[in-house]
Amino acid sequence: VKSGDEVFISGIIHYLQQHGVSLACYHPVWEYLQPWLHEPEEIACYQDAASFMALELNYLISFGGDGTFLDPLRFVQHDCVPVMGINTGTLGFISSIPRKQASQAMEALLQEELILDARSLLQLRSNKPIFDDVVLALNDFTIQKRDTGSMIAIKTYLNGELLTTYRADGLVISTPTGSTAYS
């Protein structure tokens, strides 16, 4: 949560509580927002993907810019929970609902009059334990060598079949959502 957004976000939370919505919040964000919340004891918390999935939530709302939008995807990665991005950051390509339209978005959420935008995800697997629990990406994966020596060979498989072997310094694999900043 960016400093200055506390009142805005707590106002959205209060609005949803007043309309009978059962809420849950990422625990570190909940702790930070407590001084601004009207009824903080009514909010369940989650800490990781397992505790998120146990809550069986219908939607997740992300407040911030595109970078912030990508972070909670680690919780919903296997649960297919739609994520709504309210843009309180500077760039709103993925987190596309402007702050001034947040009340309209909350009303659409309450009325279940939402248009879901299905997006492709990438899954990355390795024969070495180099990843945490998060192996899915909405935008891209970047694979790069660790040292400044010669190029590396990257064997690339698509749906289990060898696509090709790239000899390069690295490789960017992107979804249609993409990451044009690095491509």
First to last CA, the chain: 29
Alpha-carbon distance of 3 to 6, in angstroms, equals: 7
Phi, psi torsion values for 156, nearest 5 degrees = -115, 125
Catalytic one of 5, 48, 66, 132: 66
- The DSSP call for residue 2 is -
* Torsion sign, CA atoms 146, 151, 155, 158: positive
Phi, psi torsion values for 13, nearest 5 degrees = -60, -45
Q: Which of 8, 28, 35, 179 is nearest to 89 (CA)?
A: 8
169 has catalytic annotation:
no
Tokens representing residue 140 in the block? 């891209």
Q: How far is CA 91 from CA 8, 49, 70, 87, in A?
A: 18, 26, 13, 8
Alpha-carbon distance of 36 to 112, in angstroms, equals: 27
Residues carrying an active site annotation = 66
